[in-house]
Amino acid sequence: MEMSRTRRALAVTLAAAAATVATALPARADGGPNTTAACVVGYLCIQPAGGTSPILVKEGASQEFKGGLVASSLTNLTKLDYCVTGSLNFGIASGATINRITTVNAVAPSKGACLH
């Protein structure tokens, strides 16, 4: 199945934006690799542990990770608060970044409160 031109252009644009953000992130004080998820406005971004490309969840969308995804950080550049379920259940506010190793089973927009 071939990707439409619009989807291909969007994918290229998002990849370029993520690369731009990633290169603009400050280096860690200890000289180690940066663990903050590179993110694009309008997305909840999850940085898998191990340094692969971040997973982008479009504002308003939910996503499940069968078997869990080990993440090193989450960045919320949406206008919504999100709930994260996994090894720890917690909320991530709009505009926030959380840097911690955690297993993520699912993310979803908050409906007022997240189960802890």
Q: Does 99 fall in a domain? A: yes
Q: Does 41 fall in a domain? A: yes
Domain count along the chain = 1
Q: Does 116 fall in a domain? A: no
At 61, which CATH number? 2.60.20
List Cβ neighbours of 108 (8 Å cut-off, separation of 6 or more).
Answer: 62, 63, 82, 83
List, in sequence order, every residue forming a beta bridge with 92; answer none if it has no partner. Answer: 82
With 0.75 as the threshold, say if the pTM is over it: no
Q: How much is the pLDDT for 101? A: 96
Q: How much is the pLDDT for 42? A: 97
Q: How much is the pLDDT for 36? A: 59
Q: Which regions of the chain are under pLDDT 50?
A: 1, 3, 9-34
CA distances in angstroms from 45 to 1, 31, 98, listed in the order given? 27, 23, 11
Q: How much is the pLDDT for 113? A: 85
Q: Which domain holds residue 64?
A: 5-109
Under 8 Å between Cβ of 58 and 82: no
